[in-house]
Amino acid sequence: MADKKVVIDKLRNIGIIAHIDAGKTTTTEGILYRTGLKHKIGAVHEGETTTDWMEQERERGITIVSAAVTCYWKDHQINIIDTPGHIDFTVEVERSLRVLDGACVVFDGKMGVESQSETVWRQADKYGVPRICFINKINQTGGDFYKSLESIHTRLSKRAFPIHLPIGFEQSINGVVDLISMKAYTYSAFTDHELVEGEIPADMMDHVKKYRSLLIENAVSEDETMLEKYFEVGEDGLTEEDIRQAIRQAVLGGKFYVVSGGDGRGVIVEKLLDLVVDFLPSPTERGSTWGINPKTAEEIERKPMVSEPFSALAFKIATDPFVGKLAYFRVYSGKISSGSYILNSSTGEKERVGRIVRMQADKREDVSEVTAGDIAAIVGLKGTTTGHTLSDMTHQIILESITFPEPPVSIAIEPKTKADQEKMSLALQRLAEEDPTFRIRVDDETGQTIISGMGELHLEILVDRMKREFTVEANIGQPQVAYRETIRKSNVEVQGKFIRQSGGRGQYGDVWLRLSQNESGQGFKFVNSIKGGVVPAEYIKPVEQGITEAMSNGVLAGYPVVDIIAELYDGSYHDVDSSELAFKIAGSMALQEGVKKASPVLLEPIMKVVVVTPESFMGDVIGDLNSKRGQIESMEDLSGGIKEITAFVPLGEMFGYTTNLRSMTQGRASSTMELDHYSDVPSNVTDAIIAKNSK
């Protein structure tokens, strides 16, 4: 297929984001069908969808990896990323939102705003991504557009306003009223190929006028010029174009959201596509991108124009069974052509651009070049991973990378046969390249391979992928908690002195450190306060290296030490015997001794757990959470006698919780869990952990 010329103003990069099971993938399928990419709509439960192309996704009926797909609507190119809803794969949402210009948030019309809806909403806020809302499944029993709208107002934003109102209720829904054009758009079956334009039902008119006024009043209030015009001519004096323009500006501002609703599989998806084209931003409207010049450390600007030097961010690495390693990237400025050379500014390495492909989920379309604003993938980049900046060879820039949380759950893994050892190492390395929240390390004492991830499901899927994609059978141990250690005393002064005399030249390193607590979550900070050269400049870096190496093995139970400030303020050296190694060892000795004196404590990951349960089981659920050292944060009423309980519970108490919850509630309750913060472990639990680790 010949390359289509991309007009940047007619380009939309959007993500479909939502809670698990709200219908993101089905809505994406509906979009692909309506835009002509598919001749039928794939059903999630039958494993026929385009964007859920992994075997594990089709078996479980969930999205695990974000999938990119390109489609065309009304002379606009739309790059869509369908993201996972399950909390264990929240990193996929995070990295997608970093490179997208707009988002469509899908809600389950039977449930309204759910726990993960709040998480993805916060992530979109973090990256300042304008969004539109689509309330799905309102045509099913229990589906209610207005109740879901109310939950958006209560839990997310009061600035969400319907732009379409459903005609009918539950199964009788057969279209929407467009509050801008003041027309009804109906269908006789949701599988119809087109909407029929007609008059608004008479019994809806008062209702429609009320919501139209709310929409217009609030949209014009975001723009002074439009607000003045509104005061002059009134609502009826504004043209459709005026209203559209006012809404567009309000949505682009990032704090105003339009709401539509319907069946994500149906013809109504065409109205959703219209909203994407009309109200979500093009790359030009998102404005310039700023980065750092790696040579001068100065801040530099890149405008979303083809004439600017090339800059792009690699936001995802995937292993494709047919073509090998794929690096998904978003171009912020300039253009990139197949066969050319680019620079990975993050590593300083030169990379050759082999094939460039536009992704249709798991299928590929070769293109010769990609220009500013667009999203595509490069086949075969060697040293590029998630978060790396790609740039023009002569105009270097490093864009803001993507930060990922530390994984809180670990398991030991070993190959079933000796022959699989090498294959397992290769498979784990490939999976870690794809997933920045998946970590691998070898335990120094036991020699075991330890893998860490965001949750039990996350690790289960990775082990399953290793078996299917790399044919490696493995045995896995019980899940383990990633504890941390820190200190609770500040201004603790300690000396680290390393002296060795063994014939000929000796070793001499002497440092004084002042250890203090850092704020929670702020990590390690090294401060050099040496005056008058009492420790020569060339030994400062080795001291810091010695400290950071010693921090990987805490004094209580061998867990990494976090959140401390180490100030190097004094020391001494020997003209002949001092060396980098001696000062490195001295720094390490001082850190370990200082931590012992600074009231060391063990920290454990505390999970935010949200349980949705029928009211009749609420007492059992709360009692069970309390027995797990949980703190109940809130209880909310959802529709139909359903309660939502939010609690903070130590991760160590939560393994196997999903299974226990199902048996406790006859399979009727569900839960989600995400890492919230680290907290001090109670002393009795600390003693048990130390005793277990010292065996």
- Asked if 619 and 585 count as a contact pair (C-beta separation under 8 A), the reply is no
How is residue 286 written in tokens? 């998102």
> Which residues of the chain are in CATH 2.40.30.10 domains?
289-399
Which of 1.10.274.50, 3.40.50.12240, 3.30.70.240, 3.40.50.2020 is the CATH number of 604-693? 3.30.70.240
Topology adopted by domain 409-482: Alpha-Beta Plaits (3.30.70)
Do residues 606 and 678 lie in contact, with contact meaning Cβ atoms separated by under 8 Å?
Answer: yes
Confidence category of residue 146, pLDDT binned at 50, 70, 90: very high
| Res 37: pLDDT | 58
Residue 545: exposure state from Cβ atoms within 10 A (0-12, 13-18, ≥19): middle
- Position 504 pLDDT exceeds 70: no
Average pLDDT, the chain: 84
Range in 125-134, 370-379, 455-464 with the lowest mean pLDDT? 455-464
pLDDT-derived band at 88, boundaries 50, 70, 90: low
The pLDDT tens digits for 347-367 are 889 998 988 988 665 567 888
Between the ranges 280-284, 291-295, 397-401, where is the mean pLDDT highest?
280-284
**pLDDT of the residue at 82:** 64
Q: What is the pTM of this model?
A: 0.71
**Fold of the 289-399 domain:** Elongation Factor Tu (Ef-tu); domain 3 (2.40.30)
Residues in contact with 530: Cβ distance below 8 Å, sequence separation at least 6, in sequence order:
540, 568, 569, 570, 571
pLDDT in tens, 582-636: 999 999 999 999 999 999 999 999 989 888 888 999 999 999 999 999 999 999 8
* Residue range(s) in the chain whose domain bears CATH number 3.30.70.870: 409-482
pLDDT over 50 (residue 669):
yes
CB atoms inside a 10 Å sphere around CB 463: 21
Q: Which residues of 558-582 are buried (b: 16+ CB within 10 A; e: fewer)?
A: bbbbbbbbbbbbbbebeeeebbeeb
Decide: 412 and 477 in contact? Cβ < 8 Å. Answer: yes
Under 8 Å CB-to-CB from 84, ≥6 apart: which residues? 20, 62, 63, 64, 65, 66, 90, 92, 93
CATH 3.30.70.240 in the chain: give the residue spans.
Answer: 604-693
> What are the tokens at 354?
């082999």
In this structure, the number of other CB atoms found within 10 A of the CB of residue 679 comes to 15
> Which CA distances in Å does 440 have to 21, 444, 473?
31, 13, 17
DSSP 116-174: HHHHHHHHHHHTT--EEEEEE-TTSTT--HHHHHHHHHHHT-TTEEESEEESSSGGG--
CATH 3.30.230.10-classified regions of the chain = 485-598
Residue 46 has what pLDDT? 42
Q: Which burial class, exposed, middle or buried, applies to 354 when counting CB atoms under 10 A from its CB (0-12, 13-18, 19+)? A: middle
All CATH 3.40.50.300 domain ranges of the chain, comma separated, are: 8-285
Question: To which CATH superfamily is domain 8-285 assigned?
Answer: P-loop containing nucleotide triphosphate hydrolases (3.40.50.300)
For residues 62-75, average pLDDT:
66
Rg (Cα) of the chain, in Å, rounded? Answer: 28
Is the per-residue pLDDT at 672 higher than 70?
yes
Q: Say what the pLDDT of residue 53 is.
A: 38
In this structure, whether the domain defined by 485-598 belongs to CATH 3.30.230.10 is answered with yes
Q: What's the sign of the alpha-carbon dihedral 419, 422, 425, 427?
A: negative
Whether residue 641 is predicted with pLDDT greater than 70 in this model: the reply is yes
Banded model confidence at residue 692, pLDDT cuts 50, 70, 90 = confident
Structure tokens that stand for 197 in this block: 């334009």
